[in-house]
Amino acid sequence: MPDPHVSDLSVPELLELDRRHVWHPYGPMPGRQEPLVVESASGVRLRLAGTGTELIDGMSSWWSAIHGYNHPALNEAARDQLGRMSHVMFGGLTHEPAVRLAKRLVDMSPEGLEHVFLADSGSVSVEVAVKMCLQHWRSLGRPGKQRLLTWRGGYHGDTWQPMSVCDPEGGMHELWQGVLQRQVFADPPPVAYEESYADQLRELIERHADELAAVIVEPVVQGAGGMRFHSPAYLRVLREACDAHDVLLVFDEIATGFGRTGSMFAAEHAAVTPDVMCVGKALTGGYMTMAATLCTAQVADGISRGEVPVLAHGPTFMGNPLAAAVACASIDLLLGQDWQTEVKRVETGLREGLAPAAELPGVRDVRVLGAIGVVQLDHEIDMAAATRAAVREGVWLRPFRDLVYTMPPYVTGDADLARITAAVCAAAREG
C-alpha cells in the first residue's frame, strides 16, 4: 500500500521540477542548490521525503514555530475555525478571531499600544508602520517629516520601505542603494552601553528632526542583519530623544516578540513603550503568515485629524480568520505555561552546549540571549559544507554570512538541545 502522504512524484522528480519552476528565498532561477524535501513535521522534528530521515529543527522555521509543529491545540484551533470560515473580507465586516486577537495583543504588549492593524507578513507590517508615521505627521501639517532613522546592521524585511532601513552596506539589499529612499543611519549599536554612542543617536535625531517621521529599530537583538545584541539602555536614549524632538519611535519586534529574548517583548528589557510596534513570525506559532502593527492612541489620533483621516491600507487577506484563530491559540498556549522558565532552560542549554565553540579555530564570538544562540566566525561560511555538517548531526540549521546560529522551538527538550548545539559546533568547524 502506498503511503497516502507520499505524493506521486519521486523525490528526484520533485527536485527537478522545483529547480526549474520554483523560486526560493534569496535564490537564483533556475535553482543551483538542492533543497531538502520535507514531507511532514511534528514536535521539533522535520521528516524528509524519500528516506524518512528526521532532523531536529534548530531554526523554528525562521524563528516562528515556537511551540513546534503539528501541535494538537493549534491544529484544533485551525480545524475549528475552518469549519466556520477560513476567510472573509475585512472591509465592512469583522469577526471574533480578529477581535479576540487584537484584544490579546493590546493586553500583552507594552502599556499604551492600543490599536492593531492586522497585516499579512512582517514586511507588510513594517510598510504599514512607516505609512502610519508619515501620515501622522502629514495630518498634523508637517509633511516634510518623511525620512526614517535607524542604526546600521538592521533588517526589517524585503519590501520597499523595509529595504530602505536594512543595513545599506554588505546587506542583501545593497544592490538598491540609490534607488531606495535615502534614510538616516547611525553606526551599529555597541554591545555594551557607551555614552558616546548614545550621544551619536541624540545628535542625529536632533539634527534631522525636521525631516524625520520616525526612528525604527529592532530592539535588543538585530536578527537577519547579523544576529547582534545590544544594551537595552539605548532604547531609553531613543525614547527620550524622540520625545524631545517630535519623532515617533517604532520597534520592529517581528523577530524578538513572544518571548524569544526572555521577555515577552524586547521593549520590556528597557521598560520603554514605542509609538508603533510590529509583530509577526511567532504570532501564529509559525502556522501561517500573519503580522500586526500596533500603535498608540496618539498616533491614531494624529492620522484621524488629517485631510484624509483614514489609514489607506487594506490587504485582501487582512485579518484572515484562520490565521487569527491560530494566533489566539498560540498566544494562549504561550501564556498558559511558564514560558519564562522554558526560555531560560533553553538559554542555559544553549550556553552550555555552545561554550566549546569558543575554542574552535576561526570562531570570533559566541553569544546567547534567551532562546537565541549564535556562533560568529572570522570568515564567510561555506554554507553548503556547514549545512551538510549539521544534517550529519541530525539537525536543520541555516547558516548565513559569517554566522551559524540557532533559534529553536521553546519546546525543544534538553537532549535535543544538546544535539542542536553539537550541530552548531560541527557546522562552525566545517563551514
Annotated binding site: 62, 122-123, 155, 252, 281, 314-316, 398
C-alpha distance from residue 429 to each of 378, 379, 386, 389, 425 (Å): 12, 12, 8, 9, 6
Return the C-alpha torsion angle 328, 39, 343, 153, nearest 10.
Answer: -90
Question: Which residue of 155, 234, 265, 405 would you call a contact of ligand PLP, by CB under 6 A?
Answer: 155
* Among 8, 26, 107, 338, the one annotated catalytic: 26
CB-count burial class (<10 Å; 0-12, 13-18, 19+) for 48: middle
User: Any catalytic annotation for residue 410?
Assistant: no
Site track for ligand PLP across 213-252, x = CB under 6 A? -----x----xx---------------------------x
Place of cell 484551533: 77
Beta bridge pairs of residue 280: none
Q: For residues 394 and 329, is the Cβ–Cβ distance under 8 A?
A: no
* Among 57, 281, 405, 416, the one annotated catalytic: 281
Nearer to ligand PLP, 17 or 175 (CB): 175
* Among 155, 234, 287, 410, the one annotated catalytic: 155
Q: For residues 245 and 206, is the Cβ–Cβ distance under 8 A?
A: yes
Question: Which residue of 71, 145, 156, 173 would you call a contact of ligand PLP, by CB under 6 A?
Answer: 156
Alpha-helix runs per DSSP H in 51-154: 60-63, 72-82, 96-108, 122-139
CB-count burial class (<10 Å; 0-12, 13-18, 19+) for 73: middle
Q: For the CB of residue 291, give the shortest distance to ligand PLP in the complex, in Å.
A: 6
* Among 57, 120, 167, 252, the one annotated catalytic: 252
Q: For the CB of residue 5, give the shortest distance to ligand PLP in the complex, in Å.
A: 28
Q: Can you tell me the distance from the alpha carbon of 291 to that of 213, in angstroms, rounded to the nearest whole number?
A: 22
Nearer to ligand PLP, 95 or 281 (CB): 281
Would you count residue 350 as binding ligand PLP (CB under 6 A)? Answer: no
Binding positions for substrate: 62, 155, 281, 314, 398
Nearer to ligand PLP, 252 or 347 (CB): 252
Q: For the CB of residue 218, give the shortest distance to ligand PLP in the complex, in Å.
A: 5
Binding positions for pyridoxal 5'-phosphate: 122-123, 252, 315-316
All residues at 6 or more sequence positions from 314 whose CB lies less than 8 Å from its CB, including other chains? 90, 91
Site track for ligand PLP across 180-199, x = CB under 6 A? --------------------
Nearer to ligand PLP, 43 or 223 (CB): 223
Number of residues in contact with ligand PLP under rule CB under 6 A: 14
Q: For the CB of residue 236, give the shortest distance to ligand PLP in the complex, in Å.
A: 20
Nearer to ligand PLP, 224 or 395 (CB): 224
Site for ligand PLP in 120-139 (CB under 6 A): 121-123, 126
User: Following DSSP, what letter does each residue of 278-299 receive, concatenated?
Assistant: EE-GGGGTTSS--EEEEEEHHH
Q: Can you tell me the distance from the alpha carbon of 299 to that of 113, in angstroms, rounded to the nearest whole number?
A: 10
Taking each helix axis as running N to C, give the angle between helix 414-430 and helix 339-354, from 0 to 180 degrees, rounded to the nearest 10. Answer: 40
Find the largest Cα–Cα distance for the chain. 72
User: Any catalytic annotation for residue 281?
Assistant: yes
- The catalytic residue positions are 26, 155, 252, 281
- The site for ligand PLP (CB under 6 A) is made up of 121-123, 126, 155-157, 218, 223-224, 252, 254-255, 280
